[in-house]
Amino acid sequence: MLLEIDDICVAFAGLKAVSNVSFNAEAGRICALIGPNGAGKTTLFNAITGFVRPTSGTVRLDGRRISGLSIHEIARSGVRRTFQNGGAYGGMSVLENIMVGLGRGGQSDGLFAAALALPQAFHAEAARLRQARALLEAMGLGDLTNRRVGDLPSGQQRLVEIARAMAGAPRLLMLDEPAVGLSPDDRVQLSRLLRRMAAEGVGIVLVEHVIDLVMAISDKVVVLNYGEKLAEGPPDVVRNDPAVLEAYLGRK
Amino acid sequence: MSDIVTARRLTAVALAMGLIGLPLLTNDYSQYVVNTILIYSLVTVGFNILLGYVGQLAFSNATFFGAGAYAMAIGMSRYGLPFPAAILLSAVVGGLVGGLVGLPALRVRRYALAIVTLAIGELLRWGYIHTPWLTAGSSGLEVPDISILGFAVVEEKHKYFLFLALTAVTFWILRNIMRSRLGRGFVATRDNELATAALGLSPSHYKVAAFALSGAVVGLAGGMFAVLLGRVEPASFDLSQLLLGFSMVVVGGLGSLLGSVLGAVLLTALPELLRNIPGLEEIAFSVLLIGCLLFLPQGLAGLVRRLLPSLHEKLFWE
């Protein structure tokens, strides 16, 4: 199992935002976290990625405990996340964003080799540039390579951010409301992209409000309400679950 | 593309020839001003690493400058170090002080960091005054004349070639660093610390590295400053020194190597040119600072880049 969430609780000043939630996410599958406002989706998301510390419970990635690690340590174990907004580096070009995303991966060149512009540093950098450009082409962002990210519409910024996350070759990709602010066209592009990445074996977990998108692309939906897990299952089952309908639409 | 490369090479060769031939045009005084510009180019670029590249509001330029200058003075006059060893010591001491000052930056940020770094600078200055057995106290410590490989470097023109070589090599190294993974990590940390951590990169690592690098570069400049003046005293590293460096970074352009040079040239040369007209120096300085903040948020470098987009400083090496 790629991601195992076991009995996670998160409390802020004694107030429980997430209580005893457990679920799993598999490699190559898309798992959506949904629920009404204030259900604890984002808190749970942040607990998995290390942005808040769970009060109790464990998160495991490939059987290795990652809860309690710092943000960059969790990322290094193979997790990448995107943000609701402003996650991409606005002052950098699209290519530079991807170059940062390649991070510590790829061929290593020492700091001294880079500082003294030795040939080995040049070759390592050239390899990274090839990799970054190939990734942008594969994600349909090749035309934007040299554009400043801050000048792009928010939908494209989101795609750049996802590309930057993919540059780190994650096993688990966590997306925080990826469809917010996207045009219908952008949403179609996003859905295709996520399905393709899942087909390549990446496990995807997303928090999303756009229910149509969730139902269309998810393999599994986890519904939260008041910090607790209300339902879990394939989209068409969850869609007809009486408890879910009640939480979303109110009691008849 | 190859036209741009050719044009760039020609410009670089012309610039190098101009810089090497410059002493033919100067007298002792103007050569001294040029030497000061070289030193302040390093101060500005070193300070810019923290302020501009990594976005740390750390007022440490006077601190690192003083540490480097005292390392030079003490190394040469108390321990009889030859110049090459002493200038290396200036950079190393500056780098160590930088690394130490960087540790609190991992806990406090923004205004709190500004206050903490100011306090550390004042503490060090207090130390220079109150340890006369080492620093000769507030009267200042004499720096002996230097020589390299038996060749005395006493005249301003001789110091110029020495400083030019040190400055050029340092800028070349910094240019290489800023377009490597380390430089990208600096800018990424400034733009979005949490997003950077979420990519598996440690912002703390980049902050400490930036403080150490900034300290080493400004410390090196401090060592050169000690040689230029022939005497090091605590008053040189007070708040006005700090503000001068800060103004050079802001006027030149945050996060730009080119801007660092432009800021240092303008704010060193302008006061000298206006020196004979009482009061005008301060007025021009203030007007320039206000004008830059209002109309050139990217500093002089931003203005130059608008006219010559090919001078944009990329974060990768191609």
- Give the model's pLDDT for residue B9: 87
Q: Band the pLDDT of B280: cuts 50, 70, 90.
A: confident
- Output the average pLDDT for chain A: 91
Average pLDDT over residues A39-48: 93
| CA of A43 vs chain B CAs: smallest distance (Å) | 16
Euclidean distance between CA atoms B198 and A103, whole angstroms: 11
Whether residue A209 contacts residue A217, with contact meaning beta carbons closer than 8 Å, is answered with no
Please name which of B236, B247, B253 lies closest in space to residue B288, comparing C-alpha atoms: B247
Whether the CB of B270 is below 8 Å from some CB of chain A: the reply is no
From the list B197, B199, B315, the residue facing A92 with the nearest CB is: B315
> With 0-12 CB in 10 A as exposed, 13-18 as middle and 19+ as buried, what is B276?
exposed
* pLDDT score at A251: 60
Q: What is the pLDDT of residue B136?
A: 84
Question: Phi and psi dihedrals of B142, rounded to 5?
Answer: -70, 140
**pLDDT at position A205 over 80:** yes
Q: What is the pLDDT of residue B133?
A: 87
Q: Token pair for residue A147? A: 């554009």
- Stretch A147-169: mean pLDDT, rounded? 94
Q: Work out the average pLDDT over A77-81.
A: 96
Output the pLDDT for position B101: 93
pLDDT tens-digit profile of A189-200? 899 999 999 999
CB atoms within 10 A of CB B232: 28
d(CA A119, CA B290): 44
Residue of B24, B29, B26, B62 whose CA lies nearest to B46? B62
- The strand pairing partners of B148, in sequence order, are B151
ipTM greater than cut 0.90: yes
What single-letter amino acid sits at B316?
A: F
Q: Report chain B's mean pLDDT, rounded to a whole number.
A: 92
| Nearest Cβ partner for A87 among B173, B177, B195 | B195
Give A71's pLDDT tier (boundaries 50, 70, 90).
very high
Separation of CA B283 from chain center? 24
Q: What is the mean pLDDT of residues A150-176?
A: 94
Residues of B with CB below 8 A from A92's CB?
187-188, 191, 315
Task: Give residue-wise pLDDT tens across range B198-216.
Answer: 999 999 999 999 999 999 9
Q: What is the DSSP string of chain B?
A: -HHHHHHHHHHHHHHHHHHHHGGGT--HHHHHHHHHHHHHHHHHHHHHIIIIIS------HHHHHHHHHHHHHHHHHTT---HHHHHHHHHHHHHHHHHHHHHHHTT--HHHHHHHHHHHHHHHHHHHHH-HHHH-GGG-EE---EEETTEEE-SHHHHHHHHHHHHHHHHHHHHHHHTSHHHHHHHHHHH-HHHHHTTT--HHHHHHHHHHHHHHHHHHHHHHHHHHHSEE-GGGGSHHHHHHHHHHHHHH-TT-HHHHHHHHHHHHHHHHHTTTSTTHHHHHHHHHHHHHHHH-TTHHHHHHHHH-GGG---SS--
**Which of B164 and B291 is assigned the larger pLDDT?**
B164
Which residue, among A111, A80, A52, has the nearest Cα to B197 in the 3D structure?
A: A80
pLDDT band at A107 (very low <50, low <70, confident <90, very high): low
DSSP A225: E
**DSSP SS3 for A9:** strand
pLDDT band at B251 (very low <50, low <70, confident <90, very high): very high
Q: Which residues of A2-13 are buried (b: 16+ CB within 10 A; e: fewer)?
A: bbbbbebbbeee
- So what's the pLDDT on residue A29? 96
Return the sign of the alpha-carbon dihedral for residues A115, A121, A124, A127.
positive
Instruction: Give which of B106, B169, B180, B181 to mutate to test A binding, by max A Cβ within 10 Å.
Output: B181
Taking only the tens place, the pLDDT of each residue in B134-156 is: 888 888 899 999 988 888 888 99
Q: Is the pLDDT of residue A232 over 60?
A: yes
Chain A residue with Cα closest to B173: A115
What length does chain A have? 252
Only one residue has tokens 């944009």, namely B312
Q: Which among A87, A96, A109 has CB closest to B192?
A: A87
What is d(CA B54, CA B277) in angstroms, rounded to the nearest whole number?
A: 39
The kind and range of the H/E element at A19 are: strand A15-25
pLDDT in tens, A11-43: 998 888 999 999 999 999 999 999 888 889 999
Our CA-based measurement puts residue B137 at a distance from the nearest CA of chain A, in whole angstroms, of: 38
Mean pLDDT of A162-174: 96
Share of chain A above pLDDT 70, in %: 96
